[in-house]
Every structure is written in structure tokens, then in C-alpha cells.
Amino acid sequence: MKSRGYQPLSAQTKARKRRARPQEQLIDVDPVLSARVRSDLKRSLTPRQIAGRSRLGAVGANIDVMTHSPDAEGRSVSHEAIYRWIYAHRKGEFTREGIGGVKSSKKRRDR
């Protein structure tokens, strides 16, 4: 007879298998998006600004051409994906590339 309800041992096993094979980040896989996001971060744009501009460019809206920013060629990326991509990298990796203020090394103060 099959038991019903939550099975903690099988749930834990499934969670470990899923964690062992993380998904690739969209920005790492797509060199065009990677170049666009890195360029815009160097220009001190926020992930929300980058995502908004890429979304408008993907739908063909009449927007001013962003100077010093590579063409996204109709591709778009969400701000959540950009934040996940940023926090997946090690601290200091972006400062070596000249992208400042992405990850803070300051510790939070106790209240």
C-alpha cells in the first residue's frame, strides 16, 4: 500500500540531486547578453535599468540608442536574472573588471 502525505526522506534525496546539478545562468550562456550586462554595470546602471532597457529594445520600442552599450540583438533579461548572476560570482571578480559597487564587503551591524 502506498503511503500518502509528506515523505521527508525522499524529499531530502530529491533536493540533494537538484542542488548537485545547478542550472546555467542565462547571462553566462549568451555572450551577447553577457557583454551588454557587463558594459551597463561598468556604466553604473542598476539591474532594473538594464532589464528595462533590454526589454524595450527586444520589443522594438522607439528608444534612444544607448551609447557605449553593445546591441542586445533583440534579447532581453530580467533584473532577477541579473541579480542571481551577480551573486553567483565571487567577491572581487567584478572589481577586477572595473565594475564597482556590485557586491558589498561591509558587514551588517547588529541592532
Taking the mean position of all CA atoms in its chain, how far away is CA 43?
17
Q: Could you tell me if 64 and 106 are in contact, meaning their C-beta atoms sit under 8 angstroms apart?
A: no
Residue 55's nearest CA partner among 36, 70, 75, 71 is 75
Q: What is the pLDDT along the chain (111 residues), one digit of tens a residue?
A: 566 899 999 999 998 888 777 678 888 888 888 888 888 888 888 999 988 888 877 666 555 555 556 666 777 889 999 988 888 877 777 777 777 665 555 566 776
pTM of the shown model: 0.61
3-state secondary structure of 17: helix
Measured distance CA(8)–CA(41) in Å, rounded: 42
